[in-house]
Chain A
Amino acid sequence: GENVEQHPSTLSVQEGDSAVIKCTYSDSASNYFPWYKQELGKRPQLIIDIRSNVGEKKDQRIAVTLNKTAKHFSLHITETQPEDSAVYFCAARPAQVPGKLIFGQGTELSVKP
């Protein structure tokens, strides 16, 4: 069945360093890959997304890359700040079911001042 694997489960960095979170997906027909950020006690919120016809997308300090051949996509956060501390989820949308997302297990990012 459809599956998304996310690594690492926890990540600790110093303020100003970069953070990278990686995901792999099983359904080669997946066509949309969003990333959500969830602060403690809050709801998940979309921070960036990428479609399958694009290899890279950047928005200020965050960027996402997609390798369709390897079925792999990554989130890159540069110049990390304490407010980046949160749980990050990747997701993939199977092409067969409009709207449906399969989420990864989540990465707890801690940015130490």
Chain B
Amino acid sequence: NAGVTQTPKFRVLKTGQSMTLLCAQDMNHEYMYWYRQDPGMGLRLIHYSVGEGTTAKGEVPDGYNVSRLKKQNFLLGLESAAPSQTSVYFCASSSRLAGGNNEQFFGPGTRLTVL
């Protein structure tokens, strides 16, 4: 099993450009998440999904959109990139086991720089 994978690993954008980050998981997890990680600020939740076709806003959703058309994929879109979106982006997934601890499994991250 590959676990959670992210594409691309690195990307440099100019202000105003758009892009999509792809997350894929092969663990049949119901829940998926997108975080951004900035120095001294921990992992902040951007958007998340509790199932195929459903998404919800996290702590810092502005400037991002997401889609979950297939259970195994969760896409994060930046419509008009800004320098403030320079960050490392992590995708994660977890199972919806009843009474379970919902351990989140993380992808390797995408380092995005917006000039």
Which A residues contact B (CB, under 8 angstroms)? 6, 9, 32, 34, 42-46, 49, 51, 89, 93, 98-106
Contact = CB atoms under 8 A, between A and B. Distances in A.
B103 A44 contact: no
Contacts of A103: 35, 42-44
9 contacts: A9-B40, A34-B104, A43-B108, A44-B43, A46-B104, A89-B42, A89-B43, A99-B48, A104-B42
Nearest to B102: A99
Q: Is the interface of B mostly helix, strand, loop or mixed?
A: loop
A101 B32 CA distance: 12
B102 A43 contact: no
Contact of A34 (B90, B96, B103, B107): B103
Interface of B: 30-31, 33, 35, 40-45, 48, 50, 58-59, 90, 94, 96, 101-104, 106-109
A6 B42 contact: yes
Given A9-B40, A99-B48, A105-B42, A45 B101 contact: no
Contacts of B35: 103
Nearest to B6: A43
B31 A99 contact: yes
A98 B102 contact: yes
Nearest to A105: B42
Contacts of A105: 40-42
Given A49-B103, A51-B101, A101-B104, A43 B90 contact: yes
A99 B50 contact: yes
A100 B101 contact: no
A43 B109 contact: yes
B106 A44 contact: yes
Q: 3 tightest A-B contacts by CB?
A: A99-B31, A43-B106, A103-B43
Given A98-B31, A98-B50, A44 B90 contact: yes
